[in-house]
Structure 1
């Protein structure tokens, strides 16, 4: 019995000083080669990795991000002009691999998406995106709407987004209804993406 207690106390001594850590980097040129090991703040118990592909007109860019997270579901989100895939894990430095490139293989699901003129664009969802989403927020007193496709796991995540008053997910093709929007929806998109990427 004394041996068991001694082993238990020894185990506690060795694990008491251990802090949870993840790889961290921000690759805005499509790669994440400058990875460092980061000790996560208290309450951050997951490691995340994301890959975002942005296409606006003829301009395309890819960004990769890794960091500690409080809550980070695996899956993807597609807003038409930007598509992000997320990978999440819960062991030390488990995010060494980059999140996969967002899938481009259509899955038959369709949702509405927004641009600077309207929210009646029909978007083909791909990969694990099995829900439609709609998020609203305000910028300078102006109401803004963002819509697109999203994975169920992201809808189920219990996180709140700064500058976003209301976000909802729904099942069924085009269930996030066509509706006109005001300008500056890009600000809301950036807030939504940055929160997801940095939380």
Structure 2
């Protein structure tokens, strides 16, 4: 009996001290060259790598991000002016590779998207984006809506901080056309930061 107890206590001691190491990077130049490794805080069980491309008018910006994650979702999302891909893994420094750029290969699906004024624009989905997504939140007392395309794994994410609800559907244009308020970019940023940092 004492031997079993000793083995159990040794197991607890050695497994409790093990932490995941992930690469960390936030690059606005589109490259994570020079990334550094870090030990993840307790409770962070995944490494994440993400690529975000934002296009407003003629200006395009690409951001690469890597870090520890609590509940990472591999997949892609297209909100019209913002496209994102995320890759998740759960071994030490497994996020060495950058997440791929969002796919430009259309898959035939279409969803409504928002531009800050209305949600009557449509966006063509690409790659694994097989769902239409709608997310609502409240900022400064105003209700805000974002819409677009997402892969099933992104839709499976169930809780988003400061976002009241996420709903996904499978039919073309199934996420409805409704107007939005001026705080569209705040919710868009909040939704993206959830997928980048959780």
Structure-1-length-normalised TM-score: 0.91
1:2-21 correspondence to structure 2 within 5 Å: 17-21=17-21
Residue equivalent to 1:147: 147
Contact 2:73 2:195 in 1 (8 A): no
Contact 2:131 2:170 in 1 (8 A): yes
Q: Compared with structure 1, are the counterparts of its residues 10 and 143 closer, same or farther at alpha carbon in structure 2 (3 Å cutoff)?
A: closer
How many positions carry a matched residue from both structures?
A: 196
CA distance in 2: counterparts of 1:82 and 1:95, whole angstroms: 22
Residue equivalent to 2:60: 60
Contact 1:76 1:129 in 2 (8 A): yes
Residue equivalent to 1:79: 79
Residue equivalent to 2:129: 129
Residue equivalent to 1:172: 171
CA positional deviation for 1:180: 1.1
Residue equivalent to 1:93: 93
CA positional deviation for 1:88: 0.4
**Which consecutive unaligned segments of at least 5 residues does structure 2 have?**
1-5
Q: Show CA shifts across 1:9-38 (max 9, x none).
A: 988776564321111111111111231111
Q: Compared with structure 1, are the counterparts of its residues 97 and 134 closer, same or farther at alpha carbon in structure 2 (3 Å cutoff)?
A: same
CA positional deviation for 1:142: 1.3
CA RMSD in angstroms comes to 2.1
Q: Show CA shifts across 1:157-185 (max 9, x none).
A: 233222x1121111110000011111121
Q: Compared with structure 1, are the counterparts of its residues 125 and 15 closer, same or farther at alpha carbon in structure 2 (3 Å cutoff)?
A: same
CA distance in 1: counterparts of 2:152 and 2:17, whole angstroms: 37
Structure-2-length-normalised TM-score: 0.91
CA distance in 2: counterparts of 1:122 and 1:17, whole angstroms: 49
CA distance in 2: counterparts of 1:107 and 1:182, whole angstroms: 30
CA distance in 1: counterparts of 2:133 and 2:39, whole angstroms: 33
SS in 2 for 1:129: coil
After TM superposition, the runs of 4+ consecutive aligned structure 1 residues lying more than 4 A away are 6-16
Q: Compared with structure 1, are the counterparts of its residues 170 and 17 closer, same or farther at alpha carbon in structure 2 (3 Å cutoff)?
A: same
1:151-166 correspondence to structure 2 within 5 Å: 151-162=151-162, 164-166=163-165
Q: Compared with structure 1, are the counterparts of its residues 188 and 15 closer, same or farther at alpha carbon in structure 2 (3 Å cutoff)?
A: closer
CA positional deviation for 1:54: 0.7
CA positional deviation for 1:198: 1.3
Residue equivalent to 1:3: none
CA positional deviation for 1:55: 0.6
